[in-house]
Amino acid sequence: MTDATSQIKEQITAHDVVLFMKGTKAMPQCGFSSRVAGVLNYMGVDFADVNVLADEGIRQGIKDFSDWPTIPQLYVKGEFVGGCDIITEMTLSGELDALFEQNGVTYDKDAADKIREANG
């Protein structure tokens, strides 16, 4: 197991929700990372952010770990959920709400509904 792999496993085990992203949740460094972090922030989800730009080993390691080629990547309870397009679709369909509910992740249901209303 590489050092990056052990760091990734440590992050997704220590936190219920982890977003591997370019930048931080307070200052995203790409539009796709910004969109996913924005959704999670707006919905009031407590999530850990991992800035892949700060560590090339993590940046490549997360792609290898998930077998997914792009960043951002969202993990809930240690399971890979998807990237920006998947999270956007899941938010609009209500699947993300269901995933959070199934995993005991606290979020603001009214905020999630407002996202859907605004994009309906």
The pair phi, psi for residue 80, each rounded to 5°, is -70, 130
- Superfamily of domain 3-119, CATH level 4: Glutaredoxin (3.40.30.10)
Q: What is the pLDDT of residue 1?
A: 57
Amino acid of residue 84? C
Encode the chain (120 residues) as per-residue pLDDT tens digits: 579 999 999 999 999 999 999 999 999 999 999 999 999 999 999 999 999 999 999 999 999 999 999 999 999 999 999 999 999 999 999 999 999 999 999 999 999 999 999 998
Q: What is the pLDDT of residue 16?
A: 98
Cis peptide before 28 (omega within 30 of 0): no
Cα separation, 6 vs 75, in Å, equals 15
Residue written as token pair 């369909």: 93
Q: What is the pLDDT of residue 120?
A: 80
> Is 41 exposed, middle or buried, given 0-12, 13-18 or 19+ CB atoms closer than 10 A?
middle
Q: Taking the model in full, what pTM does it have? A: 0.96
